[in-house]
Amino acid sequence: MLQTSVATSAEPYIPGRARSEVIRKALAYAVVILVALIFFVPFVWTLITSFKTIPDSVNVSLIPHPWTTSAWRTIWTDYDFKRYIENSLFLAVVIVGCNLVLAGLGGYAFARLKFPGRELLFLLVLGTLMVPDQLRLIPVFVMLTNWHLIGNFSGYIFINLVTATNLFLMRQYFLTIPKDFEEAAKLDGAGYFKTFWRIMLPLALPAISTLVILQFQGTWNDFFWPLILFGQGSPSHYTVQLGLAELRFTYSTLWPQICAGSLIAILPVLAIFLAFQRYFVGGVVSAGVKG
Amino acid sequence: MATVSDAAPPPRSSMLGVRLREAGWGYAFVAVPIAVFGLFFIYPFGYAVYISFFHWGILGKQAGGSGTFNYSKVLHDPIFHTALKNVAEYTLGVVPLTMALGLSLALVINQKIRGRNFFRSAFYFPSIASSVAITTIALYIFNSDGLFNRIIGSQTPWFTTASKVTWAIVGLNTWTTSGTVMLYYLAGLQAISNDVYEAAALDNTSAWRTFWKITFPLLRPVHFFVLVVFGVGALKVFDQQFIVSGGAGGPNYSTYTPVLYIYRAAFSSFDFGLAAAAGVVYFVIIFAVTLVQNLTVGRREA
């Protein structure tokens, strides 16, 4: 049956197919709009609640009554979010900077410079990806305790100075840059550091952007290590994520404040995402192709 | 290339000097990263195993000698068993659901619909937003008098009922991670050649059949990648259970996961030896799961 219909003509089937195409499109729109709504409602609801009063926060109403900014003001003043934001931003900026320089230098060396043991050392870099946080948690905590680095920022910065993922990212990008650029620099008498700093690093701008954006997001969102290193009695070092958890544990019914705090914990990453979407999406997809 | 340098050999001493200089700079450039990785990843691996054989408290090694007592304590601890059961239930729930939702969204987005970039971003965003904030928002919406219960007309406290909390977290994390899975499937779908579909269209194969007979099998590399990466990720779940239970693992141990068990052994019981042993045991379990995945699904893949 099917075979004959194909053989005789494709023409008569076009209206049918067009109709099914229309139905499929309509279904597709219905699905994406429905799912998008389910994805958006929680955020919108959180935003609305953050402008409500505490008694009003348990009402199902779209318009806050009365409308108030008190939650936003009090988490800033009474619940220390100003300090949490400063701490999170400080850590994120320092760690992004360190990763950029160290992963850049290391990635360049592994991609371009020849030295005995290079392959072995690179294997060690990849090996770090095999060591999960829950295994190194105890030894790292013990080591940092012995060095008096618990409860201050330097301990957290030390263990996050550079990640294998970032170093790998930079190395892979440097491998794609033609060698002509460096050879020209060498003919001009530039040393290795100058070649790296003046020639290679500017050429690696796409990889640098990815590193900066993803590392900022990672450090800003990090909960596990700040909890381990600052959660044992160092509230002055709390990051936004830790402060938000603390707010929720201590004042479990202050929903307007909790909602405002949640939005603060999300907003910087949302802003970066809206501005640099393609780096997020591109990073994920390239990892997928590799896999 | 070798022949070129053979044809015009530079003075040997300067060649050696150049090589030495290059090696020197190479070591200098990788020194700090290698030190960081050695100190905070490779060395701790061995140190964790070492600690696991001692009574080890907040002040360091304690009297009582060494032995495998921490291991027998972990392996016989009913709370650790509960934690394993919880994480198994969670993983077996969240991974298939995330894959199904991620693939469905990818199939829909992959069609020529208007605003697909917008929808793609909207579905992806929860994946990169702070897990603490997302979990907190979920606690608000699924509270006993929260929005969700008002809509469905119930009063169930989803995140504080022992029998429901694992599935509440499954639902929550399906929502947050399916966007990432969708991106992987989109990349996979775009890698499938159009010729395959044209051949199917000529045969008048239905869309449903085309999907199951052609698209789904061709996406196999993506299935495998997602299964391994997100499966291992699910086994390490921690933030959500910590936020939901205030770090306590309740009610009735229902939010205990192995990573939370390790955390609590260390920072609630201050038994670092036990925590280290649990870390080693769980590392071995995850390693074994990955190995099995590679040997079963992965072998067919190759």
- CB < 8 Å & 24+ apart, contacts of B257-264: B257/B83, B257/B86, B257/B87, B257/B90, B258/A134, B258/B80, B258/B83, B258/B84, B258/B87, B258/B282, B258/B285, B259/A133, B259/A134, B260/B83, B261/B79, B261/B80, B261/B83, B262/A134, B262/A137, B262/A138, B263/A137, B263/A228, B263/B238
Q: Could you report the per-residue pLDDT of B115-174, keeping only the tens digit for each? A: 888 898 889 999 999 999 999 999 999 998 889 998 898 888 999 999 999 999 999 999
Tell the burial category of B293 from Cβ atoms under 10 Å away from its Cβ (0-12, 13-18, 19+).
Answer: middle
- A66 lies in a domain? no
Residues A265 and A170 in one domain: yes
Instruction: Tell me if residue B62 falls in helix, strand or coil.
Output: strand
Across the interface, do B283 and A105 touch by the CB < 8 Å criterion? no
Supply the pLDDT for residue A9: 42
Contacts of A281 in chain B (CB under 8 A): 120-121, 124, 183
Supply the pLDDT for residue A16: 58
Supply the pLDDT for residue A215: 94
d(CA B170, CA B101): 13
Q: Could you report the per-residue pLDDT of B206-244, keeping only the tens digit for each? A: 888 888 988 999 999 899 999 989 999 999 999 999 999
Among candidates B51, B113, B222 on the partner chain, residue whose Cβ is nearest the Cβ of A28: B113
Tell the burial category of B72 from Cβ atoms under 10 Å away from its Cβ (0-12, 13-18, 19+).
Answer: exposed
Give the count of domains, chain A.
2
Closest chain B C-alpha to A288 CA, distance in angstroms: 6
- A62 lies in a domain? no
Residues A40 and A89 in one domain: no
Residues A43 and A92 in one domain: no
| Number of other residues whose CB lies within 10 A of the CB of residue A265 | 30
Among candidates B22, B45, B272 on the partner chain, residue whose Cβ is nearest the Cβ of A114: B22
* Distances A232 to A157, A237, B105, B119 between C-alpha atoms, Å: 17, 10, 42, 41
| Number of other residues whose CB lies within 10 A of the CB of residue B181 | 29
Across the interface, do B129 and A143 touch by the CB < 8 Å criterion? no
* Cis peptide bond upstream of B9, omega within 30: no
Q: Which amino acid is at A115?
A: F
Residues A149 and A12 in one domain: no
pLDDT grade for B301, boundaries at 50, 70 and 90: low
- A104 lies in a domain? yes
pLDDT at residue A39 tops 90 = no
d(CA A49, CA A43): 10
Contacts of A220 in chain B (CB under 8 A): 130
Across the interface, do B34 and A125 touch by the CB < 8 Å criterion? yes
Residues A87 and A43 in one domain: no
Residue range of the domain that includes A147: 80-290
Q: Could you report the per-residue pLDDT of A228-279, keeping only the tens digit for each? A: 999 988 999 999 999 999 999 999 889 999 999 999 999 999 999 988 887 7
d(CA B141, CA A37): 15
- A251 lies in a domain? yes
Structural domains of chain B sorted by starting position, each given as residue range(s) with its CATH number in brackets: 72-301 (1.10.3720.10)
Residues A196 and A111 in one domain: yes
Q: Which amino acid is at B298?
A: G
Residues A117 and A225 in one domain: yes
- A93 lies in a domain? yes
DSSP state of B54: E
Closest-CA residue to B190 (of B223, B217, B219): B219
Q: Who's near A12: CB < 8 A, 6+ residues apart?
A: none
Contacts of A269 in chain B (CB under 8 A): 128-130
Closest chain A C-alpha to B41 CA, distance in angstroms: 6
Q: Which two tokens stand for residue A170?
A: 């930079």
Return residues 223-242 of A near B (CB < 8 Å): 223-224, 227-228, 231-232, 240-241
d(CA A85, CA A149): 21
DSSP state of A79: S
